[in-house]
Amino acid sequence: MTEPLTGPLTGRVLVAGVGNIFLGDDGFGVEVARRLAGTELPDGVRVADYGTSGMHLAYDLANGYETAILIDAAPRGGPPGTLTVLEVRPEDRPELITAGGSPLQSSQLFNAHGMQPDVVFGVLDMLGAQAGRILVVGCQPASLELEMGLSEPVAAAVDAAVVQVDRPALTAYHHEHTADAARRG
C-alpha cells in the first residue's frame, strides 16, 4: 500500500520528472523537473526529465540511488491540481507481468515509449538492482487528451510541487548529510 511521506531522505537522491508532454496534464512531471533543474540543490541530488523513457529511468535507478522521487500526473479522484505525496514500499511494488513466464516475452518490457512502473521495476529486477526508497509526487490531472500544455489548475500546482520536492524533502536530506559529515570530522 502507498503511504504519505515520512522521515528524512538519505543517500543519493534522484528526482525524476515523468510524463508525456503531448498529452496535456501528463506533462506535469516534466515541467516540475524543468523548474527544479534551475534551482540550487544539495550535492548528491540529481534532477532529470525522463519523459516517457522508462528504460532510461530503470538503468539510472540501478546506479545506486537510495531514494527516487517520481513526479507525475496521478489520477486519484480529487480536484484537478491536487498534489499527493506517497511512499511506495518495496512490498507494494508490482511484479513485472510476463507472458509465458519469461520477462523477455513481455510485450511491454521493451516499449521505449512506456513509463509503466511495473516495467521499470521489472527491468530493475532483471538487472539484479534495487530501487531503494520510492516517493511519488502526483498531481490530479484535468485532461490527458492529445494536446500540448498544462491545464490552468495543474499549471498552478507546478510551483507547489517544486516547493514540496525542494524544501521539505531535500532540506531533510541536506541536514542529515551535513550532520553525518560533522560527526565524521
- pLDDT tens digit sequence for 92-117: 765 444 434 444 434 444 444 456 66
Does 58 score more than 70 pLDDT? yes
Residue 159's pLDDT is 92
The set of residues, in sequence order, having a beta carbon less than 8 Å from that of 121 and lying 6+ positions away, is: 58, 93, 94, 95, 96, 131
In sign, the C-alpha dihedral spanning 98, 102, 103, 108 is: negative
Cα(21)–Cα(31) distance, rounded to whole angstroms?
A: 9
For the record, the C-alpha cell of 165 comes out as: 520536492
Global pTM exceeds 0.85:
no
Cα(18)–Cα(81) distance, rounded to whole angstroms?
A: 16
Report helix, strand or coil for 178. helix
Does 15 score more than 60 pLDDT? yes
Average pLDDT value over all residues in the chain:
76
Does 74 score more than 80 pLDDT? yes
Rg over CA atoms, the chain: 17
Q: Domain spanning 2-96+106-184: which CATH class is it, in words?
A: alpha beta
Three state DSSP letters for 16-51: EEECCCCEHHHHHHHHHHHHHHCCCCCCCEEEEEEE
- DSSP strand E in the chain: where? 2-4, 13-18, 45-51, 67-73, 83-88, 133-139
